[in-house]
């Protein structure tokens, strides 16, 4: 069996991609309601496995909420960085292991690659078709944006005064921040992979070259820098997830986000049902449920995630997404550049 790599998938599917305009003319698949038949079939399977890169406590709470909504279906959360999950699914599929039922990645490029490799099932929940903006779901019903987050800068409010805090990414290159910055890793985190692609495009690699000389503390998960900042280990984070910053704030931790003057990386995290899911009905039930206004509202409340569902109310205390200057997300470019980004990153940051 051939190895699944970004490049081979991209190259191998070039022909398909060329012909896919014709495919896209085809009408979107029929939107699916959560029917009693689906619920019954899901209960018969009794379980499902969800691979996600969302912060672990958040993921477990969402799983518990689903289990409460549909008693009789138990969920197993497999959480790791999006890049690790991508690697793990690839490795498992090569060995014909089909553990994963529903996947959620913070690197939207993964969904493009999986779709091209025919690894996803087409299933379009009614909520997605009816409410989600067009750019947030796949025309063939393969995936939809389950969550949106940002990768802002943040600082520890008991170590840094608001007026001294960095205003943008270039401020982080000031010698006064040497040894005081924490950042996460694009080889682990999809959020950081996506953010690194956007920043290297808009600020150039020179920004990372200089940042690498600031004695940066390197952690793995994008959920970790906010914890390191609020715990007082480092004064500022150069990247990390916005939702973790907000969750820590609501617990009274001393952390404050900064939306950079250059613009803040925007990261959508799509979900999908795997074509070879061992529990196909439970997978579809969870996927459909996770896109409902009710579940999306839960994402906002317990996870401080952002939602593209128009019926969902955002947290009132934080800045509206539409008021924040964001960098343009380009999943196809990430799919193309990811290996190169990792190699360059290793060269600059040595890990």
Partner 1 sequence: MPASSRSEAATADLPVRSSLQLDLSRPILIAVTALLVVMIALPMGWLIVYSLSDKQGTATLGNFVTLFTDPSFVDPLITTLIIAVSVSAICCIVAAPLGWLVARTDMPIRRIVRTLVMASLVTPPFVGAIAWEMLAAPNSGLLNQLWRSLTGMPSDEALFDIYSLTGLIFVIACYTFPYVFILVANALDRMPGELEDASSMLGAKTWQTARRITMPLALPTLLAGALVAFLQALNLFGSPAILAIPAGFHTLTTRIWSLFQFPPKPELAAAASLPLLLLTILLLRGQALALGRRGYAVLGGKYGEPRLVRLGAWRLPAAALALLVLAMPLFLPYAALFNSAFSRVASRLVTLDTITLHNVRFTFLELSSTMPALKNTFLLATLSATLGAVLALLIAYIVARRAVPGHRVLAFLATAPLAIPGIVLGVGLFLAYTRPPLTLYGTLWILLIAFITIELPAAYQQLSSAFHAVHPELEEAGRMLGASRLRTLADITAPLLRSAVIATWCFVFVAVIRELSAAVILFTSETKVLSVLIFDLKESGDVGAIAVLSLTMVGITTVVVAVANRFGGGREAGRLHARTAG
Element (H, E) at 264: strand 264-273
Return the residues of window 56-75 that contact partner 1 according to CB under 8 A.
56-57, 60-61, 63-64, 75
Work out whether 349 is an interface residue with partner 1 (CB under 8 A): yes
Work out whether 300 is an interface residue with partner 1 (CB under 8 A): no
What is the C-alpha R_g of the chain?
A: 20
Work out whether 157 is an interface residue with partner 1 (CB under 8 A): no
Work out whether 279 is an interface residue with partner 1 (CB under 8 A): no
Element (H, E) at 285: helix 280-290
- Contact partners, residue 84, CB within 8 Å, separation at least 6: 188
Q: Single out the residue of 17, 69, 70, 88 in contact with partner 1 (rule: CB under 8 A).
A: 88
Work out whether 6 is an interface residue with partner 1 (CB under 8 A): yes
Which residues, in sequence order, are bridge partners of residue 344?
Answer: none
Work out whether 205 is an interface residue with partner 1 (CB under 8 A): no
Work out whether 2 is an interface residue with partner 1 (CB under 8 A): no
Cβ proximity to partner 1: between 321 and 348 the closer is 348
Distances (CA, A) of 17 to 22, 110, 112: 10, 16, 11
SS3 of residue 47 by DSSP: strand
Please state the closest distance from residue 55 (CB atom) to partner 1, in A.
7
Work out whether 250 is an interface residue with partner 1 (CB under 8 A): no
Distance CA 68, CA 331 (A): 34
Return the residues of window 18-57 that contact partner 1 according to CB under 8 A.
49, 51, 55-57
Work out whether 194 is an interface residue with partner 1 (CB under 8 A): no
Return the residues of window 106-145 that contact partner 1 according to CB under 8 A.
none
User: And the tokens for 223?
Assistant: 């959920």
Please state the closest distance from residue 35 (CB atom) to partner 1, in A.
27
Binding residues for partner 1, rule CB under 8 A, total: 64
Work out whether 79 is an interface residue with partner 1 (CB under 8 A): yes
Element (H, E) at 207: helix 205-211
Work out whether 81 is an interface residue with partner 1 (CB under 8 A): yes
Work out whether 161 is an interface residue with partner 1 (CB under 8 A): no
Torsion of CA 78, 1, 337, 81, to 10 degrees: 10
DSSP 139-195: TTSS-EEEEEEE--EEEETTTS-GGGS--SGGGGGSGGGTT-EEE--TTT-HHHHHH
Q: Single out the residue of 43, 78, 210, 314 in contact with partner 1 (rule: CB under 8 A).
A: 78
Torsion of CA 47, 48, 53, 55, to 10 degrees: -20
By CB under 8 A, name the binding residues for partner 1: 5-6, 49, 51, 55-57, 60-61, 63-64, 75-81, 83-84, 86-88, 90-92, 94-97, 99-100, 159, 179-180, 187-188, 215-221, 223-224, 227-228, 230-235, 251, 253, 338-339, 342, 346-347, 349-351
């Amino acid at each position: 069996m051939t190895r699944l790599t970004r490049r081979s998938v991209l190259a191998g599917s070039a022909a398909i991609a060329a012909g896919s305009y014709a495919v896209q003319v085809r009408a979107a698949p029929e939107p699916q309601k959560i029917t009693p038949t689906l619920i019954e079939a899901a209960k018969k399977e009794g379980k499902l496995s969800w691979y996600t890169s969302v912060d672990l406590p958040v993921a477990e709470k969402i799983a518990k909420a689903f289990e409460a909504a549909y008693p009789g279906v138990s969920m197993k959360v497999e959480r790791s960085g999006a890049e690790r999950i991508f690697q793990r699914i690839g490795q498992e599929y090569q060995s014909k292991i089909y553990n994963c039922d529903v996947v959620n990645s913070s690197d939207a490029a993964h969904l493009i690659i999986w779709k091209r490799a025919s690894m996803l099932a087409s299933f379009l929940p009614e909520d997605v078709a009816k409410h989600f903006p067009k750019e947030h779901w796949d025309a063939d019903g393969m995936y939809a944006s389950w969550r949106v987050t940002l990768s802002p800068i943040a600082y520890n409010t008991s170590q840094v005064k608001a007026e001294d805090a960095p205003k943008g990414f270039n401020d982080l290159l000031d010698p006064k921040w040497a040894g005081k910055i924490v950042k996460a890793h694009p080889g682990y985190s999809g959020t950081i992979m996506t953010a690194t692609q956007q920043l290297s495009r808009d600020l150039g690699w020179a920004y990372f070259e200089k940042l690498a000389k600031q004695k940066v503390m390197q952690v793995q998960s994008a959920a970790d820098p906010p914890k390191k900042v609020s715990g007082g280990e480092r004064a500022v984070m150069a990247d990390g997830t916005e939702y973790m910053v907000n969750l820590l704030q609501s617990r009274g931790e001393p952390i404050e986000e900064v939306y950079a003057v250059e613009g803040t990386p925007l990261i959508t995290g799509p979900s999908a049902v795997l074509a070879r899911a061992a529990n196909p009905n439970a997978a579809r039930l969870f996927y459909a449920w996770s896109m409902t206004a009710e579940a999306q509202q839960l994402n906002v409340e317990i996870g401080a995630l952002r939602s593209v569902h128009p019926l969902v109310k955002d947290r009132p205390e934080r800045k509206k997404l539409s008021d924040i200057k964001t960098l343009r997300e380009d999943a196809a470019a990430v799919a193309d550049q990811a290996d190169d980004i990792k190699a360059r990153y290793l060269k600059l940051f040595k890990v």
